[in-house]
Amino acid sequence: MCVPFEKNMEQRAAINKCGHYSIVLVAGLGGHPKGTWLAADGTLWPRQLLPDYVKNIRVLSFNYNNTLKGSASQAGIEEHAEDLLIALFNAKEDEDEKLRPIVFVGHSLGGLIIKHVSGRVGHQYFIHLTR
């Protein structure tokens, strides 16, 4: 299993003080990795508005097969959680990124996938938000 986090808590604390975060968006059943997060005026709010309030963030959106058939089964959710972990591991480009805290934002089925990810790795590595 890929775990995309270092366990050096001193380095993690130094990165946290700088306010470097990764925001990971996980859309729900039938959602779209970008369309789910669009405001009525076409603003992709996580990417266009959040940086005005939270500096040094990186916004990622997890793209997965979230159609009705097979996605919402227990096996499907676990497979999506594993795919999300692998995607996060592959998205880490340097050592500092491995230490960035991750803020998850999930909608519907996305929240269940996030729950499975946090259960596998441990809550101490996540700020877990669902709507």
Which CA distances in Å does 116 have to 22, 52, 74, 131?
A: 18, 31, 10, 16
pLDDT exceeds cutoff 90 at 76: no
Q: What is the pLDDT of residues 1-17, one digit of tens each?
A: 233 334 455 555 554 55
pLDDT of residue 131: 35
Enter the pTM of the model.
Answer: 0.73
More confident residue, 99 or 117: 117
User: Confidence class of residue 92 from pLDDT cuts 50, 70 and 90?
Assistant: confident
pLDDT of residue 91: 78
pLDDT of residue 100: 77
The Cα–Cα gap between 34 and 24 comes to: 12
- CB count, 10 Å around CB of 76? 18
In this structure, are residues 118 and 128 in contact, taking their beta carbons and an 8 Å threshold?
yes
- Smallest Cα–Cα separation from 16: which of 72, 83, 82, 99? 99
3-state secondary structure of 72: coil
pLDDT exceeds cutoff 70 at 128: no
Average pLDDT, the chain: 75
User: Confidence class of residue 43 from pLDDT cuts 50, 70 and 90?
Assistant: very high
More confident residue, 14 or 89: 89
Q: What are phi and psi of 121, to 5 degrees?
A: -95, -35
Domain boundaries defined on the chain: 46-131
In this structure, are residues 36 and 28 in contact, taking their beta carbons and an 8 Å threshold?
yes
